[in-house]
Amino acid sequence: MSKTRTYTFDEQPCSFIEVQESKKRIAYWALAIGLFALVAASVVTWGFDQVIQTPQELALQDENEALQRQLRSVTGRIDVVTDELALLQNMDKEFYRTLLNAGDLSEDVLQVGVGGSDPYPEFSRFSVPTSSILTETASKIDRLERQLLLQNESYRELAGLAASQQVELNEMPAILPVNGRITSGFGIRFHPVLKISRMHPGLDFHAPVGTPVYATGDGIILEAKSGAGLGRYIKVKHETAGYITVFAHLSKIETGIRKGRAVNRGDLIGYSGNTGLSEAPHLHYEVRDLQNRKLNPLFFFAPSVTPAEYERLLAQSENTTLIFD
């Protein structure tokens, strides 16, 4: 194949002259084109690497994302357990230690954390999202473990105190007196019969007529009779513990339940009803101290129910819509 020739017009001789390309210029053009092609190929290859991944890379990416989701799920479950532990710590402080006259645990001790600016340096080799999740999860687990150990030691201490105060503990009005939902809590309430707002010194439990009613702690029957406001009622004195419990609006007092008789926690003492100043069948239940001061019975149920059940009872007492006395 013949070589292509290039000509240019020269005005002086008025003729066409063949253009001569120097080898050096041709080399420059070849180098420039080669460099451009190399850069273009690199850019295209990089772009494909960013967009198109190998099956192995895709599998690793999916695995990492799945592990991150699982770690977030574990962290969420740790938060739930931590909330449950907080309820136990609150019962420890507000009820058990008060009941047994034990000193409070230091708040600084209870909220112990993990020391050091970077307690988990081994996680730094992972990507930032993964390292962050791992650090958060490990920190929560370490803190939860320390709090559980402290709570276990606290319960060991309380168990020792409880053993020396068994009679008083048996007399504590610590169980639910009847199987029924709380319909009216302790505090200021609108009385459905008197049509006025006044102090409601106990808890009302919805219970059909004839529902069994039980002694909530060991004690001696102080009264078992009928009255105007309380209707048919029973009072139990818990001498050592320092409390009196009242069960009102009963339909019937169990046979043999009379003044001076000893009863144990869980003994059947009567049946719910609608006697006295009452608008519907229910049990009115009170806890008083020996100076006749009214106390919130709800606080005494904590040892006999789970934290979740206690929270449910608390919600019922605070969101009551049915008031019968």
Averaged pLDDT, groups of 10, the chain, 325 residues long:
55 57 58 64 57 66 72 79 80 75 66 59 76 81 83 82 81 93 79 66 92 97 92 95 96 96 96 90 94 91 80 78 56
Could you tell me if 90 and 19 lie in one domain?
Answer: no
Verify that 113 and 140 share a domain, yes or no: yes
Alpha-carbon span 60 to 127, nearest angstrom = 13
Location of structure tokens 């292509």: 4
Give the pair of three-digit tokens for residue 182: 């709380």
**For residues 125 and 128, what is the distance between their CA atoms, to the nearest angstrom?**
9
Mark whether 98 and 225 lie in a shared domain: no
pLDDT at 267: 97
Whole-angstrom distance, CA of residue 288 vs CA of residue 255: 25
Could you tell me the pTM of the whole model? 0.53
| Residue 206 lies inside a defined structural domain of this protein | yes
Which range of residues forms the domain containing residue 100? 74-164
Same domain, yes or no, for 44 and 84?
Answer: no
CATH of the domain at 216: 2.70.70.10
What is the domain count for the chain?
A: 3
Same domain, residue pair 220 and 268:
yes
- Confidence (pLDDT) at 223: 96
What is the reported pLDDT for 224? 96
In angstroms, the CA 27 to CA 276 distance is: 116
Do 121 and 206 lie in one domain? The reply is: no
Residues 186 and 314 in one domain: yes
pLDDT of residue 221: 97
Q: Are residues 143 and 17 in the same domain?
A: no
Give residue 5's pLDDT.
60
Residue 1 lies in a domain: no
Say if 252 falls within a structural domain: yes
Q: Which of 115, 134, 164 is the last residue of a domain?
A: 164
313 plus 216 within the same structural domain: yes
Phi and psi based region of residue 266 (left: phi greater than 0; alpha: psi -120 to 50; beta: remaining):
left
Residue-level pLDDT at 303: 73
Do 192 and 110 sit in the same domain of this protein? no
